[in-house]
Chains A and B, each alone.
Chain A
Amino acid sequence: AQKVTQAQTEISVVEKEDVTLDCVYETRDTTYYLFWYKQPPSGELVFLIRRNSFDEQNEISGRYSWNFQKSTSSFNFTITASQVVDSAVYFCALRPYGNNRLAFGKGNQVVVIP
Chain B
Amino acid sequence: DVKVTQSSRYLVKRTGEKVFLECVQDMDHENMFWYRQDPGLGLRLIYFSYDVKMKEKGDIPEGYSVSREKKERFSLILESASTNQTSMYLCASSTTTLNTEAFFGQGTRLTVV
Contacts and interface: CB of A to CB of B under 8 A. Distances in A.
Interface string A76-114: 000000000000000100010111111111110000000
A20 interface: no
A95 B98 contact: yes
- B interface majority secondary structure: strand
Interface string B88-103: 1010101010110111
Interface string B73-108: 000000000000000101010101011011111110
Nearest to A48: B101
A62 interface: no
B106 to A, nearest CB: 5
Interface stretch (B17-25, B40-48, B63-71): B40-48
A6 to B, nearest CB: 8
A44 B104 CA distance: 6
A93 to B, nearest CB: 8
B61 interface: no
- A interface majority secondary structure: loop
A106 B41 contact: yes
Contacts of A64: none
Given A43-B107, A50-B101, A52-B99, A9 B40 contact: yes
A45 interface: yes
B42 A47 contact: no
Given A33-B98, A95-B98, A100-B50, A107 B42 contact: yes
